[in-house]
Amino acid sequence: MGAQISTVVERRKTLSIEEKALRDLEESSGTGFPGGDYHPSDRKNWMSVLDPGKIQVNKIVWPGTHDSATNKIGIPLITRPFAQCQSLSIYQQVVRGTRVVDIRVQEDRRVCHGILTTYSVDVVIDDIKKFLSET
């Protein structure tokens, strides 16, 4: 158990160093894509200001998340640090502006990341329905 905890601590240190390196790189390079300086005050409804007559779908930078429904996957402090790619629910992600979600589902309708599973895909669908009903 001690070795597992040590591995988790080392992994978190490594992630912290990588996150700092990415922040430093972002600060030094500025925005690298068209519209990268656009920061809407209402991220939940950021798409409402897009004029479909003036912008093509393929010209929009679509914010997305990888392994989007892994916020409750695995066992905390044991497998979760290695399988959890997102800490927010799907609903929380889309409210914050995410519009592309990466959901991996097994045949039993459970969301997965590799061999680890979490809640039913119905939770994801309910989160999306809730968001759509509000916007």
Catalytic residues: 66, 113
Instruction: Determine the Cα–Cα distance for residues 54 and 74; give it in Å rounded to an integer.
Output: 45
4: tokens are 């597992």
Q: DSSP letter at 100?
A: E
Maximum distance among all Cα pairs of the chain, rounded to whole angstroms: 60
Instruction: Determine the Cα–Cα distance for residues 17 and 73; give it in Å rounded to an integer.
Output: 24
